[in-house]
Amino acid sequence: MTYRFAALGLAVALGASPLAAQELSIATGGTGGVYYPYGGGLGEVIGRHVEGASGTAEVTGASVENVALIARGDSDLALALADTVFQAFHGEGDFEGRQVSELRALASIYPNAVQIVTLADSGISSLEDLRGQRVSVGAPGSGTEVSARTLLEANGITYDDFTPERLNFNETADALRDGDIAAGFWSVGPPTSSIMNLATTRDIAMIPMSDEEIANAVEVEPTFAPYTLRADLYEGMTDPVQTISTPNVLIVHEDMDEELVYNITRAMYENVDELIAIHPAANDTTPEFSIDSTPISFHPGALRYLEELGLTVQDHQQP
């Protein structure tokens, strides 16, 4: 990765044309979430508005796997939850002993809401009711599982208290529909297609978090924030539901060419309407949300664009 980006930067500096249509790999998640369509839209924006570059969304196991893909140079850009990114950057939590300090943020792009779904007739109406049940906590290597385990353990519930299943979004929806699990976790930008599809075939219910449960989770994981799922978000959901959210961060390797990162950052913000047309979560893709939410250092190319807008980043976001 280092050589490729350095070579591109040298070509630009010498006035030579970079290799035509440099193909950038964008690590996303499963097809049932928001990462994949958002990443596909970002690839289209890059192809249309960044000279000499194009982007392709890759299906992955999401946040934890995506951090590893960036670290190894197997992907050029990746989407990951802020708690996963923070832990990896500092070598904490799931990344204790394997710090990934070479991560840099291009932007925070929208918040993921933890959505805990069950069937309306399951009798489950709280986190405590998950004890003794079979529950999907998200795909292996996903930020959903990191968030699920963190918020549960913050409220005194461990994997020993229920039967965890590690399923992706579509698998979780199918397992709920078929009665193979009692509840499932999603950490994703609402609304998401897999829950929408489930709600057309089964009566669903969202499991709310109490004020105390949210406070307990935020105390353990500072990147969490209170969030309210609006009424009518999904078919049959008549009341708002209180939960938590985590920002999603678009990450790159520190060795990525500064000019390339600058051009991608500018293209994304200045053509965000094209992303919104693909998924409404992109309504939150703004420089202001990015500065409010990004938990690690910005790449110098992204920082340059933000400074051109006259914005000031937080101390921990400086390279």
Q: Are residues 103 and 19 in the same domain?
A: yes
Q: Is 193 found in the same domain as 117? A: yes
pLDDT at 14 over 80: no
Which structure tokens are listed for 219? Answer: 């105390």
Number of domains making up the chain: 2
Q: Are residues 229 and 263 in the same domain?
A: no
Rounded Cα distance between 55 and 299, Å, is: 19
17 falls in which pLDDT band (50, 70, 90)? very low
Q: Who has greater pLDDT, 11 or 32?
A: 32
Residue where a domain stops, chosen among 190, 212, 246: 246
Same domain for 51 and 92: yes
Q: Do residue 151 and residue 265 come from a single domain?
A: no
> Which residue, of 212, 246, 280, is where some domain finishes?
246
Same-domain check for residues 91 and 212: no
Same domain assignment for residues 85 and 34: yes
Answer yes or no: do 117 and 235 share one domain.
yes
* Statement to judge: residues 67 and 117 lie in one domain: no
Residues 168 and 267 in one domain: no
Q: Is residue 1 over pLDDT 70?
A: no
Q: What is residue 223's predicted lDDT score, i.e. its pLDDT?
A: 87
- Give residue-wise pLDDT tens across range 137-155: 999 878 899 899 999 999 9
Say if residue 120 is in the same domain as residue 236. Answer: yes
What letter would DSSP give residue 150? Answer: H
Domain hosting 158: range is 112-246
What are the contacts of 167-171 at 24+ separation with CB within 8 A? Answer: 167/136, 167/138, 167/139, 168/30, 168/32, 168/61, 168/138, 168/139, 168/142, 169/29, 169/30, 169/32, 169/33, 169/139, 169/144, 169/194, 170/30, 170/31, 170/32, 170/194, 171/136, 171/139
**What average pLDDT does this structure show over 107-133?**
97
For the stretch 170-182, pLDDT in tens is 999 999 999 999 9
Over the stretch 173-225, which tens digit does the pLDDT of each residue have? 999 999 999 999 999 888 889 999 999 999 999 999 999 999 999 999 888 98
Quick check: 7 pLDDT over 60?
no
pLDDT at 9: 46
What's the CA gap between 113 and 190, in Å, rounded? Answer: 7
Residues 216, 300 within the same domain? no
pLDDT, tens only, 270-311: 999 999 999 988 999 999 999 988 999 999 999 999 999 999
The CATH number of residue 296's host domain is 3.40.190.10
For position 222, what pLDDT does the model report? 84
Instruction: Tell me the Ramachandran region of residue 102: left when phi exceeds 0, alpha when psi lies from -120 to 50, beta otherwise.
Output: alpha
Domain finish residue from 217, 246, 275: 246
